[in-house]
Chain A
Amino acid sequence: MQKIKFYGVGGQGAVTAAKVLSIAVCLYQDEYAVTVPVYSHERRGSPVYAHIIVDDQPVLLNCYVYEPDIIVVFDDNLLDMGVDVAEGCTEDTVLVLNTARPEMVDKYRRAGGFRRICVCDATGAAVKNIGLNIPNSAMLGALARTGVVSIDAVCSALRDSFGKVGEKNVDAARDAYEDTIDA
């Protein structure tokens, strides 16, 4: 069982990404997933969370994730916004971080002591391939680096979810997957 928590900012598609991850895991990896998004006052710019539990057998838990194995941070400003992304994490928790600023890696490592940080400029990949500042598909590509989901499953789920712009999102995810480095 892998417990995953997504941290985003309203408008970045973090909740959508959680749903796409569910599709990838359930339909293209023949495993099970339960997604529980957290909605607050719905607007752009406020912190957004989604909780996903992935397992190779049916998932019983239908609640939030308190001790994540993987956290996915869609916006490197979240720490400065006062969001405690390290909550419940141990040094074994893998962080997938969207940033184009190398100094942020150290900042997040200090915050959570993460031994492994997968770093990716997902926003850059999104702007390049989709033309929009919505990094969700690219972040799923970066997440595939952790092994919890395969990049092919992510791409198939993106095609299912995004219709006409599916291929652009697939390109963003593949670019991000290729560019993600372990820091």
Chain B
Amino acid sequence: MPVKLFDGNSAAVESIRLARPGVIAAYPITPQSGIAEHLADEVADGRIRAEYVRVESEHTAMSVAVGAQLTGVRVATATASVGLALMHEVCGVAAGCRVPIVMPVVNRSLVAPWSLWCDHSDTMAERDTGWLQFYCATVQEVLDLTLSAYRIAEHEDVLTPAMVCLDGFFLSHSMQRVDTPPDEDAWDFVKPYVRRNMYLDPKDVMFINALCPTFEHTEMKYQQMVGFGNAARVAKDVFAEFEQRFGRKLHTVESYRLEDAEVAVVTIGSMSGAAKYVVNQLRDRGIRAGMLRICMFRPFPADEIREALKNVKVIGVVDRSSGLGAAQGPVCSEVKAACYGGTTKIFSFIGGIAGRDISDISFRRIFGELLEVKDGKRDSCTCWFDTREDAMDIREVEVPC
């Protein structure tokens, strides 16, 4: 398989090209701009034979995507941060009308404070919109998960749109080697788009997304819920087929050295490599440390997580978004719920906000606290890690008396 060098944005574009969309509607936003721009290049140069609709906002981008895909073509779009927030309303339309759009989302903080840099507050705010969510750890996974997402989202038992989330700059602008399947092999895997549900066709008219009476609305949400349940199974099947064809293993959750682990971290996204690195360091010192990475966040693989973590004594769940007002970060909430009833101690860690690096140093500190809990030396952890001591005093202004 040819090795190419891609940054995360280019890997997303490559996987979209391999899936041969017929319509593209994207609005550029940092750090996603490379996707919108390179897709335009691919269309201009004839490598993607698609209609590129230049839209004036993300709200319109998703509206075009929904309408176009309902005609029976695969559609491409991508966004980030406030762009995703502006899309929010139409994301719900795509999900409820069962339009299986696959959309890379380059994770960037929501405002305010204004930021261009990575955290998961944008996609975590969309976690209950009715979209599947996959979080990539490497640029290779951007390509692999996007290709797989088409198969999962478009499966007749799923028919649910999917976000493929990649960390802004840490993945979107990080050059890494990527094994890239030849066009025909990828096409043979992704397969042509087939409309399997409602459609827009002037010769056979449907009225789509009309006002839905209360006595049916619950049932339609129930249908979506069933779709999510099926997605968990379909994802496993698609990942197995992917591995058979391309030799790379994809995960709903990835266990790393967890077999006999006493302490572990649960991670999501590009921070996971640094966590593995520190697990290896600790193992070299004879400390039984492990890691669990959540790759598929929607549907949430609660059973697998409970099973993987059942023998671990102390766990730290690292969220890259603040989960304001909640008892813990959003990933931690779900992990705690999944493990409810067990004896494991689970602690929430929140950091990496708006581009703050989560490095091996951060994980050494986190594991240090978890080990102290295990040894009975402390019973709480520093939830907001790598946060400045002077957090409450950083801005001061002169004011009239």
Contacts and interface: CB of A to CB of B under 8 A. Distances in A.
Given A23-B5, A27-B5, A63 B360 contact: yes
B120 to A, nearest CB: 15
Contacts of B173: 36-37, 39
A37 B116 CA distance: 14
A64 B274 contact: no
B5 A62 contact: no
Interface residues of B, number: 28
B361 A59 contact: no
B260 to A, nearest CB: 21
Interface string B331-363: 000000000000000000000000001111100
A26 B274 contact: no
A64 B276 CA distance: 16
B22 interface: no
Nearest to B137: A62
Nearest to A65: B359
B9 interface: no
Contacts of B280: 60
Contact of A33 (B171, B175, B271): B175
The 6 lowest CB-CB distance pairs between A and B, nearest first, are A22-B175, A26-B177, A63-B359, A60-B273, A35-B175, A60-B277
A163 to B, nearest CB: 14
B259 to A, nearest CB: 19
A40 B137 CA distance: 23
B255 interface: no
Contact of B277 (A32, A61, A64): A61
Interface residues of A, number: 21
Contacts of B369: none
Contacts of A22: 5, 175-177
Interface string A58-94: 0111111010000000000000000000000000000
A176 interface: no
B3 A64 contact: no
A33 B138 CA distance: 12
A19 interface: yes
B81 to A, nearest CB: 14
Contact of A60 (B116, B177, B274): B274
Would you call the interface of chain A mostly helix, strand, loop, or mixed?
mixed
B107 interface: no
Contacts of A19: 5, 7, 175
Nearest to A24: B5
B277 A35 contact: no
Contacts of A62: 137-138, 170-171, 174, 270-274
Nearest to A38: B169
A64 B173 CA distance: 13
B31 to A, nearest CB: 8
A34 interface: yes
A149 interface: no
Given A19-B7, A27-B3, A36-B174, 13 more contacts: A18-B175, A19-B5, A19-B175, A22-B175, A23-B5, A33-B175, A35-B174, A39-B31, A60-B276, A61-B360, A62-B274, A63-B358, A66-B359
Contacts of A60: 273-274, 276-277, 280
Interface in B174-203: 174-177
Contacts of A61: 273-274, 277, 359-360
Contacts of A23: 5, 175
Interface string A17-55: 011001100110000111111110000000000000000
Question: Which has the most chain A C-beta neighbours within 10 Å: B173, B276, B358?
Answer: B173
Contacts of B7: 19
B107 to A, nearest CB: 13
A60 B363 CA distance: 13
Contact of B5 (A26, A36, A59): A26
